[in-house]
Chains A and B, each alone.
Chain A
């Protein structure tokens, strides 16, 4: 539990760094930071319970997508602003490195294992965002429909 809290704080600061580098407007930085940290914690919890980084990445990306959509709606801003710093925590940067290292040690078996996992994780992030994008579109369509029906009544 303690570990989770410290990871949350670290992810907060990491996302804040990304938000500054990508020049998110200052008033949106807090929201960005929370989106990123929530995504990372979701990843950790799923990874702990299911023990599959790819699936954990999927859920993390879903979380980031969902939170970004909500904050984009609240602040009436483009969703990109929240997604980009948020998703970066999930990108398997360390795995790129471990793949390389295994390759250098001519440990082909390990390289294949880590490399495939890297590709799977990147794919899972893509799938997560995709799935969330589709869900958000459907929800938005349903919402506007209900509003228009209300207007008619």
Chain B
């Protein structure tokens, strides 16, 4: 079913619930299905369609597996649903376009890694770091992002991923602070934390609450809190161990 595929792609890429439900409903209406009921959550999409007689009810359930933010896909599916509803595109053509969208290539890895380094380094200065901190954070941020991608490849869940990356960042920050004069660890670690902060979960959960999707709102809020805790715990464990090992001059 075309509509539900479009919906699933959007949900995977991190769209809000109401946008997913709206898109599915519009596509169904454009196909001439009068009665559509959509219920979407971050982990699954349910669509039920029927015509006048209640006996013809058809229900689709699609489980949405773990997601990765891809705003290009959201934008493309958005445009697709607009063209699909306004022109008389056939379902087969639509399927083909969705295939293309799903195969959409992200930016090359090195560009993403460099931008991750830019994020961490800029934030380390915003949080009161100096020029030396900037240089250290570029390297630590780069390594952190690579580690996160590496863990993602082996489908390690997001809690452990956040924990490991932050622990890693904290370790290197402390190492740099201990070995290089004039580097302080706090801006470096907080810069790296910014890379993994659950901004999308927070933003989307608010917008879900706002549009009345309480279930999705709660789910995403919980996700945000859990990620936040995992980040703090990751950095905290390493700091604690560092102090216990004798603390070396910090």
Contact = CB atoms under 8 A, between A and B. Distances in A.
Interface residues of B, number: 53
Interface stretch (B26-34, B38-46, B85-93, B111-119): B111-119
Interface string A1-26: 00000010011011011111111110
A37 B16 CA distance: 24
A103 B202 contact: no
B199 A14 contact: no
Given A99-B232, A125-B202, A81 B75 contact: yes
Given A10-B126, A13-B118, A16-B118, A80 B19 contact: yes
A94 B240 CA distance: 18
B119 A84 contact: no
Contacts of B240: 104
A22 B70 contact: yes
Interface string B96-111: 0000000000110001
What's the dominant secondary structure at chain B's contact region? helix
Interface in B219-250: 228, 231-233, 235-236, 239-240, 243
A81 B71 contact: yes
Interface residues of A, number: 43
Contact of A100 (B122, B206, B232): B232
B190 A97 contact: yes
B74 A81 contact: yes
A77 interface: yes
Interface in A28-46: 28, 40
A21 B199 contact: no
A20 B107 contact: yes
B51 to A, nearest CB: 31
A97 B231 CA distance: 8
A126 B224 CA distance: 13
Q: Which 6 A-B pairs have the closest CB atoms?
A: A17-B119, A94-B190, A17-B115, A14-B122, A20-B115, A88-B199
Interface of A: 7, 10-11, 13-14, 16-25, 28, 40, 77-78, 80-81, 83-84, 87-88, 91, 93-94, 96-101, 103-104, 122, 125-126, 129-130, 133-134
Interface of B: 14-16, 19, 69-75, 78, 106-107, 111-112, 115-119, 122-123, 125-127, 186-187, 189-190, 193-195, 197-200, 202-204, 206-207, 209-210, 228, 231-233, 235-236, 239-240, 243
